[in-house]
Chains A and B, each alone.
Chain A
Amino acid sequence: MKVGVVTFPGSLDDRDAARAVRAVGGEPVSLWHGDADLRGVDAVILPGGFSYGDYLRCGAIARFAPVMDQLVPAAKGGLPVLGICNGFQVLTESHLLPGALIRNDHRKFNCVDTRLRVENAQTAWTSDFEQGQEITIVLKNGEGGFVADERTLDELEGEGRVVFRYVVPEGGRNPNGSYRHIAGITNERGNVVGLMPHPEHCVEEGYGPSLDGLPFFTSILKQVVNA
């Protein structure tokens, strides 16, 4: 089972994403932003980092990289794609997912363990979670505030396309000002998932607050094997 991990100039977490794929028995395949070639992979991860220096807008320039010319139609055709942090920003800029990520409302870079509730355990990347399960994984971002217009937010909620929500006390604030505490979403088909927190940093003992990142990668392994 081959999972491609795209490296853009400025990607940081491509190695960790590849390592997480390997940890669950998958075969990571490096994909280069400048090559219009998906190398026959069964799924793709867009990793965290600061592609193209976050110039213009986060993910805005990465969206037009040659590899994206292949990835966008493949994702629309059902190829499983996971966008983590900067990868999520690339997915929204590519219009594979709705909404946008803007600067944190408190204007500071965040590096914290976050509690998330799994709101949709039926996507290609979350089937190994229980619906409603709470997990703790790390979050590190400066521009992670998820925004969209009211109609889009209602649609996402109505169609069960909010995949993760920050767990916050009643009336409390989430780590980045995301509307309706949304941490991750999916497309209609459930093959494309984007989230700001980093599951790939939570797959090994001794690193991060938990092993709660593992089910992302075991989910996709099963999905591809069963497909």
Chain B
Amino acid sequence: MGNVVIDVMLKPEILDPQGQAVNGALPRLGFDQFTDVRQGKRFLLTVDGEVTDEVLEAARKAAETLLSNPVIEDVVSVRAEQDVDASRAEQDEKDPGR
């Protein structure tokens, strides 16, 4: 099982009221060193088997058509991510005494 991680952010010139709300709350908790907050979205797309180039290409297309609106958002990154549980199981098999 493989995953594709897609990060989407509002374009810098688009107002981010959610980020502003978070930014307004931080100083109340004593976090006064941050001057701005922008909030984005992360999508985790799962496939059976390996993340091939075709899978990545399809994920890029999905990111541009449905997952983001190019008028207001940028697709910041589309990348393959090894399934954490699967890789751990693999490790355990190799090294049962770990």
The docked-state distance in angstroms from the alpha carbon of A75 to that of B21 is 38
Task: Check: B91 CB closer than 8 A to any chain A CB.
Answer: no
Contacts of A177 in B (CB 8 A): 15
The docked-state distance in angstroms from the alpha carbon of A207 to that of B25 is 39
Contacts of A102 in B (CB 8 A): 10, 14-15, 17, 72
Instruction: Say whether B17 contacts A107, CB under 8 Å.
Output: yes
The verdict on A105 contacting B15 (CB below 8 Å), with A56-B66, A64-B66 known, is: yes
Quick one: CB contact mask for A36-71 with B, threshold 8 Å, 1 for yes? 000000000000000000001100110010000000
Contacts of A103 in B (CB 8 A): 17-18
Kindly count the residue-residue contacts between A and B in the assembled complex, taking CB atoms under 8 Å apart: 37
Task: Check: A92 CB closer than 8 A to any chain B CB.
Answer: yes
Q: A98 contacts which of B18, B66, B67, B71 (Cβ < 8 Å)?
A: B71
Task: Check: A93 CB closer than 8 A to any chain B CB.
Answer: yes
The binding surface of chain A is classed by DSSP as loop
Task: Check: B77 CB closer than 8 A to any chain A CB.
Answer: no
The verdict on A148 contacting B71 (CB below 8 Å), with A102-B15, A105-B15, A107-B20 known, is: yes
Q: B69 contacts which of A64, A93, A104, A107 (Cβ < 8 Å)?
A: A93
Contacts of B10 in A (CB 8 A): 102
Instruction: Say whether B69 contacts A105, CB under 8 Å.
Output: no
The docked-state distance in angstroms from the alpha carbon of A64 to that of B15 is 26
Instruction: Say whether B17 contacts A100, CB under 8 Å.
Output: no
The verdict on A60 contacting B71 (CB below 8 Å), with A105-B15, A147-B14 known, is: no
Task: Check: A145 CB closer than 8 A to any chain B CB.
Answer: yes
Quick one: CB contact mask for A88-119 with B, threshold 8 Å, 1 for yes? 00001100001110111111000000000000
